[in-house]
Amino acid sequence: MRKELLVILFVIIQLRLYAQEFTEAIEDNSYFIEEAYNQEERVVQHISNGYYTFGATKDFMYTFTQEWPVFSQKHQLSYTVGYSWLNSNTVNGFSDFVINYRYQLTGHDDFITMSPRISVIIPTGNESKGLGNGVWGFQVNLPMSKRISNGLACHANVGFTILPGVKTIDIAQLEHKNTNWNINLGGSIIWLASKSFNFMFEGLHNISRLADENNEMITSNQTILSPGIRFAIDVKKLQIVPGLAVPITFQDGNSDTGMFFYLSFEHPF
């Protein structure tokens, strides 16, 4: 009998959360974790990201993304173009170009908001300089979002990237082609401190399969933990969202701290 009561209580709590109406809050792109909210009809968003690493290489990567609704909020097209300054600016240039499509599978009125995405990676970056992969690639990702309360929202991602035919040169200077892939898993918690100000904590884990200098396929693990903030400035129908984060990357027994800069402009068209 006790188990049945606990089940009934759990269901009641879930239904109460499901039916609850929340106050207005920022619904924007997080920095390392996708939020599952497509662009509203006739509203476009322009997003700039900058990521600087304080490690030995002192890299700086800039990306610009533009998101457009297609006829309605159900369908969204976007593209991402990037430019990088690597190894203390001894190497710089454009990175690979990415085209994305997202479908709003479930919305705010559902128990969980989900927007699966498929992306095509176009090899515009110079692979010999480490600016791109040199091959066409494909990525799928499932962002999931849930508003827990007036002061809390959480997001989760699971995705897969494949890069077939990536060229590698082994220590004997022989050329090989391999299929590289990556699995990404992550989540975030957003504290909605006010209608226009958020504290954020994101966690991302990447599992990559790639060739080493002996042309042997190895698995590499990378974890990023990133506390950050963002706030919204509303100017009539224009919403400006600046943000800042301090990501810490753990990989191969080493850690590296960086600074992440975010700036978004969203307006009707």
Q: Where are the domains of the chain?
A: 26-268
Structural tokens at position 45: 């968003």
Rounded to whole angstroms, the Cα distance separating 100 from 98 reads 7
Per-residue pLDDT of the chain (269 residues; tens, 9 = 90+): 565 555 555 544 554 544 457 888 888 889 999 999 999 999 999 999 999 999 889 999 999 999 999 999 999 999 999 999 999 999 999 999 999 999 999 998 899 999 999 999 999 999 999 999 999 999 999 999 999 999 999 999 999 999 999 998 889 889 999 999 999 999 999 999 999 999 999 999 999 999 998 899 999 999 999 999 999 999 999 999 999 999 999 998 899 999 999 999 999 99
What is the reported pTM?
A: 0.89
Token pair 């402009």: residue: 265
Amino acid in the structure at residue 257? T
pLDDT of residue 61: 98
| Topology (CATH) of 26-268 | Porin (2.40.160)
For residue 19, the tally of other CB atoms under 10 A from its CB is: 8
Structural tokens at position 199: 């504290």
- 7: three-class secondary structure by DSSP: helix
